Structure 1
């Protein structure tokens, strides 16, 4: 581990690789509007840091400890193939989904469709203006789903911001027909309690079920009342998506009183988020399992009956986890990686002060059988490179790299870049590759970096909040077997069975 870290430090000082860029023509003709995000992942903020912090950032760059402003560095086994800057949608870039030769990139102002048949030169197929954070995105067949978690004047794509205290305000799920990738059509909308921060697909032959994660209720919000201790489940008939509707709101954290039964947060557990819903859910349909990252709690549950999920186990980490953000199974479904989004995605938490165990991944083994399975903590993983105090950095969205017999992930860390790491040994995870840019600013905390980094059909795709769409390739004997694996569709939070 020490040798690997020293090698990486030298590579960072060399500052290898220049950005490959290509601004492609957009098909969107209407002028873009700016979406107003709610607090949560990657708040769009610029904030001056102290003079001492700015001086430390400049000194770290001068000493070669971190890359220069906007400089790209990476390990020897990563190639940066392409970068497509943001175009007609200037908002925060968010999640990614894939289907065939297409990548679908969410943005707080709408979404963009890329043709990735040539990963070295992705082409913009279309851009759709439809403001509403976070615009978390998934696809299934001819349908595309988009989350809206900011209070809007109505459910149209021309809506404006409106306070959640007004009954007429709208938040929830939008459904598009993408049978014509050049001309997506908005076909349905479903309002959900507290909006839709993220969502997860549970596909069936005739229907698509959507698990909607949302949180932060208030007695002043007519459509988001406490305790908001569950998830909305939407059923979408494939042949009649306009009939999409909420079919259940299962309570995941039963308990007495207005606060439900999740983590109470502070002052009982200082520094820990109070559980008022879930942030994100990952399902493994082949195993009828789901893992939920729910603010102050991590949960494991059965989805044998997709309309009525059943909790199997619930865990908390009131020492090092501030906000349970996302979850990933390994292929054998005997491990779950949970991420802690300390600071909400807008803070500098990859520094010496915060340390290696906070704002990190938590690796849990799944032990036992059936409804008696338990989540057992094994270790933490955090990128082994300190970032500047002007760089927002924390564990964020990633996916498996499908290597049989190994547990390997690629993961986004905002301005911490992209990390490829091996957790085959749950107790001793290790990084095997990385890619990152230097800070966007040495004087101001500017939100940026990789929101999602996913492996799809031989390549790594990243949606960078500020810099746009990146394509990378890893060449390493440990990950090379994954190149043989091909998928027709990938929504990372609906994990495929790669080897079935």
Structure 2
């Protein structure tokens, strides 16, 4: 019986080692903002194992672009099946959308191409908001912001319309509007209120710009000054949307009432200064750069991170045991059983629980060090970066919009977090640390317990967020990675493809929109594409054998497989992964 094969192509190509349309940033050699990703042939080399890992296994990778923030949605296709999607920001490659219904095989499901360097992504229903911060990425703001301001150094956000086609289960994003900051500072982060009626632009220098979204265009409503919320790097909200938590570098962390913000403004409820313990900044239990502040899904615990030791100055990956590096600090917002210091805890009177610090596990030599050096990305500090609490969606506990899910399924006292050069970590913050589980904690930690980690070669992980049992990361070197939470250690924390004995053979032509090559410089749309394949796997073989060719006639691009890594056959569908050349140029996975 002949099997009908569905051929899915999602190829990412790094042409000439750079991203077309983006401009090089000159300046400090340690500046972490670069738009050069590791070449695909380095990241996808068979046999690469984690530099260190425990209980988090690497499952899949999409390479060839500089990944930043990640958000999620689920949608129902025309046939009634639910598809899960990851929206991945990038530096120079635009917004990338992947169907992650099968986490081991992410498939391109739409894209919005723009040369800007995206530092934050928010997704709510049919709207996406993307932040551009010239303080961090220099001249590389979006095309719309450049046109609106006549300048390359004014920050702001792009607002995209997410048109979803249930028939193809794909997105066609388009620009709806862009908003230019009215004052100084960039848009280091953008946070949409759960109501969808307004958003906060976090300037990192001059407070928050409140933007009204109730009309056809985004309109400035008011400025929340530094005296009220600090300089502000990132904000999040309580489950009811009435309370905002603001992390402000240089000042501390603020709890703010935003119940009627569009009409009446905001009111400060509480302020946790950077220094609450003796010793000032020399004490790691104090904060130097309050980076992200999120509340647990039950509203009982507020956690905020300290990004000290970031890529500008700390390049040793915390290998010095006496070194000070950023961590997570937790404060109670409700009384907690057995903890007398929390008896009067409330949003107005937060009480300190403790801090967790990255327990340097010792990293093996990075086999991608030469490839990293070739693109100027050898700094890779190991400070903490973006995290996601269990039971939390994009901006608050629960979904940001009903019917779209996007909520982490971790327990309400668990989180996953990115650590730049130290990869991805999972923590339990229900109580003090313990080494009884065989994981030696940092002696400075007094709250929170390490559950697992994975540091893949070349990792420079910007964000880490869990969705439906898997952890998805935007990585500045590796692109987009998928991890599974499991029981493993060391080299075993790498999920290798399970090949299906059998053969996939076929050829023909398909409409251009159903078979596409995603090249960072952007292919022509439409037209016809032809393909041919003959791949087989016999039980006991090291890897499948065969050949695959693909010709996008409209873009005049020819893809030729140079190696096949996996063949998975499920019913009438065959999935093939491997490496290839485009018009003879290697670097495709």
Residue 429 of structure 1 corresponds to: 448
Q: Does structure 2 retain, via aligned residues, the 8 Å contact 1:97–1:139?
A: yes
Which among 79, 82, 97 is matched to residue 60 of structure 2?
A: 82
**Structure 2 length as normaliser, TM-score?**
0.58
CA contact (8 A) 1:78 1:433 kept: yes
Distance 1:70 1:302, change over 3 A: farther
Query: Could you tell me whether the CA contact under 8 Å between 1:293 and 1:324 is conserved in 2?
Result: yes
Classify 1:313/1:361 alpha carbon distance in 2 versus 1 (closer, same or farther; 3 Å). Answer: same
Unaligned runs of 5+ in 2: 1-7, 37-46, 75-83, 165-169, 335-343, 366-377, 392-408, 433-445, 489-589
Match of 2:243 among 270, 273, 289: 289
How far does the alpha carbon of each residue in 1:394-424 deviate from its partner, in whole angstroms, 9 at most, with x for none?
0111112347875111111011011111110
- Contact 1:134/1:197, CA 8 A, preserved across alignment: no
Alignment deviations for residues 426-478 of structure 1 (CA, whole Å, 9 cap, x no partner): 5432111111124x4xxxxxxx511111011221111111111111111369x
Give the aligned partner of residue 364 of structure 1: 331
Specify whether residues 373 and 410 from structure 1 end up closer, same or farther in structure 2 by C-alpha distance, changes over 3 A only: same
Q: Which residue of 2 aligns with 1:302?
A: 257
SS of the residue 1:344 aligns to: coil
- Change in CA separation of 1:288 and 1:415 when aligned onto 2, cut-off 3 Å: same
1:23 to partner: Cα distance: 8.4
Matching residue within 21, 41, 63 for 1:33: 21
Q: Is the 8 A contact 1:366 1:373 kept in 2?
A: yes
5 Å-filtered alignment, 1:224-373, equals: 228=206, 230-237=207-214, 242-253=216-227, 277-286=231-240, 288-296=242-250, 297-307=252-262, 308-314=265-271, 315-317=273-275, 318-319=280-281, 320=284, 321-346=287-312, 347-348=314-315, 350-353=317-320, 355=322, 358-366=325-333, 368=344, 372-373=348-349
**Count, aligned residues:** 381
Given the alignment, which residue of 417, 421, 427 partners 1:415? 421
The answer to whether the aligner puts 1:99 opposite 2:73 as a matched pair is yes
Task: Verify the 8 A CA contact 2:52 2:362 in the aligned structure 1.
Answer: no
1:450 aligned to which of 461, 473, 476: 461
Q: Mean Cα displacement is larger for which, 464-473 or 313-322?
A: 313-322
Of 131-140 and 459-468, the range deviating more from structure 2: 131-140
- Can you list the C-alpha shifts for 1:84-118, whole angstroms capped at 9, x where unaligned? 112xxx4x321011111111000121210101111
Deviation (angstroms), 1:81: 1.5
Provide the rounded CA distance (Å) in 2 between the counterparts of 1:154 and 1:379: 36
Equivalent residue number for residue 374 of structure 2: none
Q: Determine helix, strand or coil for the equivalent of 1:345.
A: coil
Give TM-score scaled by structure 1 length.
0.67
Give the superposition deviation at 1:182.
3.6
1:209 paired to 2:209: no
> In the alignment, which residue of structure 2 is the partner of 1:498?
none
Query: What is the alpha-carbon distance in structure 1 between the residues aligned to residue 387 and residue 248 of structure 2?
Result: 17
> What does the per-residue CA deviation read over 1:194-229, in whole Å, with 9 as the maximum and x for residues that have no partner?
23111111122xx4321111134xxxxxxxxxxx2x
Post-superposition shift, 1:350? 3.6
Query: What is the distance in 2 between the residues matched to 1:169 and 1:251?
Result: 22
Contact persistence 1:364–1:379 (CA under 8 A): no
Query: Does the aligned pair in 1 maintain the 2:298–2:412 contact within 8 Å?
Result: no
Cα pair distance change 1:391/1:136, threshold 3 Å: closer
Cα RMSD of the aligned pairs, angstroms, is 3.6
CA radius of gyration, larger in? 2
2-structure distance, mates of 1:84, 1:26: 7
The equivalent of 1:471 in structure 2 is 482
Inter-partner Cα distance in structure 2 for 1:141 and 1:380:
34
| Contact preservation (8 Å) 1:410, 1:419 | yes
Structure 1 residues 375 and 117 mapped into 2: Cα distance closer, same or farther (>3 Å)?
Answer: same
Taking a change above 3 Å as real, the CA distance of residues 93 and 434 of structure 1, as seen in their structure-2 partners, is same
Shift of residue 120 of structure 1? Answer: 1.0
| 1:43 and 2:33 are equivalent in the alignment | yes
Cα contact 2:274–2:288 (8 A) shared by 1: no
TM superposition shift of 1:155: 5.9
Task: Give 3-state SS (helix, strand or coil) of 2:310's partner.
Answer: helix
CA distance in 2, matches of 1:174, 1:195: 13
Aligned mates of 1:103, 1:467 — CA distance in 2: 16
Question: 3-state DSSP class of the match of 2:361?
Answer: coil
Measure, in 1, the Cα distance between the counterparts of 2:430 and 2:110.
39
2:248 & 2:291 partners in 1: Cα distance? 7
8 Å contact from structure 1 (residues 131, 159) kept in 2? no
Gapped regions of structure 1 (runs ≥ 5):
1-21, 47-68, 217-227, 255-261, 263-274, 441-447, 478-500
Equivalent position SS for 1:253: helix
